[in-house]
Chains A and B, each alone.
Chain A
């Protein structure tokens, strides 16, 4: 029993390597926040393209649907590998500029930004589906009222439909954000040190898993409060709709 405890909860290992793991976790947070932010935007853009009216926009709608289907169906690890190897090769061949192929914005390394690309590409597709559910949950009469007042489709979307849709889907978007945060650990496979890779390095050096345990605890300290917030919001929303029905 004590061997097990020592393997996973060795406080000497944890305190010796605490700052290293925390630095890794900070990278995890950065990946999550920056990737999450752009995935939220990209998902909204995709869902709006998907909702464009009329025959003229059919090709664009088709592209958006194809994109969403494709990237919901491919593992993010694969996207990550395709992005990192492909972009690096293309930019060294001079096909694409370096600031796209091997970006180093704000002093972050290329693997960091490739990770951001993969997170945004994949989670943009997931979040587009969440937004779509929200947009479709806004009653048809809202669009009709806006259009009957002379608003264009774009104006009605921006001022009437999207604000209502987004408030409805904040909880599922937060759920996707939790999933995204966990998937940032995949970026370790292209040589980026985030919290999981940091723990793994310590484990290789010490033959002890306590640093990984610390990583798990750090994840839980972030994701459990987020999950509770989601629950609160959902119960708040349902009690509001229950009140609205006389």
Chain B
């Protein structure tokens, strides 16, 4: 347990009578890439949104780098500054150019100089392959390009952990690879990542661990070769059967 870099302890989340998360415990090591899979409605996106408290769980504790954060009234700022998030719908700021999208938060939140932030933003955009698009506005970029800007934007805060919430689900098939490639590079560089995804190929290839969720609980977890290649639980088998069939 001591080597957990980010830990979720007893996370419960209810919407009225609907119990979306029913006691999630997970420990993620530094540099580990965890892919969370499961049917829709299984609570995997909610889990991710609870991890940086965009959604406040009803119960539980989140541990980041040895610091415990109570899900009610804990140090949200500490958590959000250290945990980056990328969304399915990109959520770029449409009134800002690509470079402004990336440089804005560090300037405002970390009080860095605008020059420093802009240089850094250009470097990050270059790194995700968008060096030529720095001054474009989001509506002039393809979905894949927008998502790469969103990744650069999250990285600009120098997060310790990155959360990816079905980041390729809204993309045209031919644009998926460019985003996954960036994520693969990040993983290779040792970023700690929690990835909610339907991309089984990516999970198989990049993940250190795969978590299968259903009904608000973790049903099965382990190395991808086991969970995806040789699942033990009946529910995992059924889900993979449906996903891999087509």
Contact = CB atoms under 8 A, between A and B. Distances in A.
B91 A145 contact: yes
Interface in B81-125: 81, 83-85, 87, 89, 91-95, 104-105, 108-110
Contacts of B92: 145
Contact of B105 (A144, A150, A167, A244): A150
Instruction: Indicate the member of A149, A159, A160 with the most B CB atoms within 10 Å.
Output: A149
A154 to B, nearest CB: 10
A141 B87 contact: yes
B243 interface: no
A145 B109 contact: no
Contact of B153 (A149, A159, A167): A149
Given A155-B109, A159-B104, A150 B91 contact: no
B52 interface: yes
Contacts of A150: 77, 80-81, 105, 109-110, 157
A154 B77 CA distance: 14
Contact of B87 (A145, A159, A164, A167): A145
A160 B77 CA distance: 18
Contacts of A141: 87, 89, 91
A149 B105 contact: yes
B174 to A, nearest CB: 14
Contacts of B157: 149-150
A148 B93 contact: no
A151 B108 contact: yes
Query: Size class of A's contact patch?
Result: 10 to 19
A146 B77 CA distance: 12
Given A149-B154, A150-B105, A244-B139, A144 B94 contact: no
A147 B154 CA distance: 11
Instruction: Indicate the member of B89, B104, B108, B110 with the most A CB atoms within 10 Å.
Output: B108
A142 B54 contact: no
Instruction: Indicate the member of A142, A147, A148, A160 with the most B CB atoms within 10 Å.
Output: A148
A150 B80 CA distance: 5
A160 B91 CA distance: 11
A97 interface: no
Contacts of A148: 52, 54, 80, 83-85, 154
Contact of B54 (A147, A159, A163, A167): A147
A146 B93 CA distance: 9
Nearest to B55: A144
A167 B96 CA distance: 13
A138 B81 CA distance: 24
B231 to A, nearest CB: 32
A148 B77 CA distance: 9
B54 A151 contact: no
Contacts of A163: 95
Nearest to A155: B108
Interface in B138-185: 139, 150, 153-154, 157
A141 B89 CA distance: 8
B79 to A, nearest CB: 9
A144 B150 CA distance: 13
A142 B80 contact: no
Interface in A71-105: none
A139 B90 CA distance: 12
Nearest to A158: B108
Interface of A: 139, 141-142, 144-151, 155, 159-160, 163-164, 167, 243-244
The 10 closest A-B pairs by CB, nearest first: A149-B105, A145-B91, A141-B91, A150-B109, A148-B85, A150-B81, A150-B80, A141-B89, A163-B95, A155-B108
Given A149-B157, A164-B93, 12 more contacts: A141-B91, A145-B92, A145-B93, A145-B153, A146-B105, A148-B154, A149-B153, A150-B105, A150-B157, A160-B93, A167-B95, A243-B139
Interface of B: 52, 54, 77, 80-81, 83-85, 87, 89, 91-95, 104-105, 108-110, 139, 150, 153-154, 157
